[in-house]
Amino acid sequence: MEQEDFKVKGSAKDPYEVTFIKDGDSLTALCTCPAGEFGNVCKHRTSILDGELTGIVSDNAESVTKIVQWLVGSDVEAALVAMREGDNDKDTQAALKRNLARAMNT
């Protein structure tokens, strides 16, 4: 099992903590922001999964490339792609976001 933790700037005074855990083919992505705490998709996790360094305030931004590699072939990648390529219908997008949140939180 491998783990990477990032601190990211958000709307709160203190940075949020984003944690990625790779265990075999499983990838878990957690965030301490309100959306993440409620089990919803958040921009903090998805931006790191997209390889973006924006908002990272910890000194390990170079580890983002490792997270992007962990994403490949995972259920999180499949759910992220499905959400991005899915119908723009509000109900469909809500269901796809719930599916992505479940994939990230397991």
Q: What is the pLDDT of residue 106?
A: 76
Tell me the pLDDT tens digit for each residue of 35-48: 999 999 999 999 99
Residue 88 has pLDDT above 90, yes or no: no
CA atoms within 13 A on the CB side of 31: 25
Q: Which two tokens stand for residue 78?
A: 């499949």
Nearest to 42 by CA among 26, 29, 57, 24: 29
Number of structural domains (the chain) is 1
Tell me the pLDDT tens digit for each residue of 57-73: 999 999 999 999 999 99
Nearest to 44 by CA among 10, 93, 95: 10
Domain holding 18, by residue range, is 2-104
